[in-house]
């Protein structure tokens, strides 16, 4: 059965529109035991699609990470300053996810990529409440000389950039000191693919 024929959207309302959007749906869907569910209402947070880019230096086995203030983390009881991979929202649909990743690497970390990044993974960040789709890219970088404070002032960005060894970053992740979901996904992906990347990107 086609996916669309298993879901019936009876009504859609936009209940809030600001920097983000909240839509309310009335719907029914097919049941595993057969037949249709009762009519239900669900709110969906329309945040837009996002990209992240894992900046990896294979010869030095190091990562370029950023640290910046996150109000939701603070409100949820986590550290307000979060350690993350470079990431950003796809605000212009005419700009490809790869182009956004390249631009964010430059704006957030001062990294100018010399080769296009490749798409490592594509996933939903919170499928129970948002349509947000995260495009995770990976790129080889030379981490020497990278660091400092970056970001766009008119977007209120105050971003600290740091280069850390793979071992130190994974130790922090396993100790619970990295709480950002897309960043954890990127790190676990790297742990599974690190040997292959180091063979693909040998020491120059």
Residues involved in catalysis:
155
- 30 neighbors 1 (Cβ within 8 angstroms): yes
> Which DSSP state fits 37?
P
**CA contacts within 13 A on the Cβ side of 201:** 19
DSSP H helices, the chain, are: 71-75, 97-109, 166-174, 181-200
What is the C-alpha separation between 164 and 25, in angstroms, rounded? Answer: 44
For 98, the token pair is: 């790869």
CB atoms within 10 A of CB 133: 17
């Amino acid at each position: 059965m086609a996916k669309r024929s298993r879901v019936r959207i009876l009504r859609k309302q936009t209940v809030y529109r600001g920097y983000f959007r909240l839509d309310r749906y009335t719907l029914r869907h097919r049941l595993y035991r057969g037949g249709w569910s009762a009519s239900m209402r669900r709110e969906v947070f329309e945040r837009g699609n996002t990209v992240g880019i894992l900046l990896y230096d294979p010869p030095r086995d190091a990562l370029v990470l950023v640290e910046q203030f996150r109000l939701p983390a603070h409100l949820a009881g986590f550290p307000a300053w979060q350690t993350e991979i470079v990431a950003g929202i796809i605000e212009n649909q005419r700009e490809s996810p790869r182009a956004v990743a390249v631009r964010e690497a430059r704006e957030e970390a001062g990294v100018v990529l010399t080769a296009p990044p490749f798409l490592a993974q594509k996933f939903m960040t919170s499928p129970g409440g948002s349509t947000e789709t995260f495009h995770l890219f990976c790129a080889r970088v030379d981490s020497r000389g990278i660091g400092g404070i970056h970001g766009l002032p008119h977007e209120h960005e105050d971003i600290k950039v740091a280069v850390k060894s793979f071992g130190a970053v994974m130790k922090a992740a396993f100790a619970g000191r990295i709480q950002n979901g897309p960043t954890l996904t990127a790190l676990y992906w790297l742990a599974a693919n690190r040997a292959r990347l180091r063979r693909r990107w040998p020491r120059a």
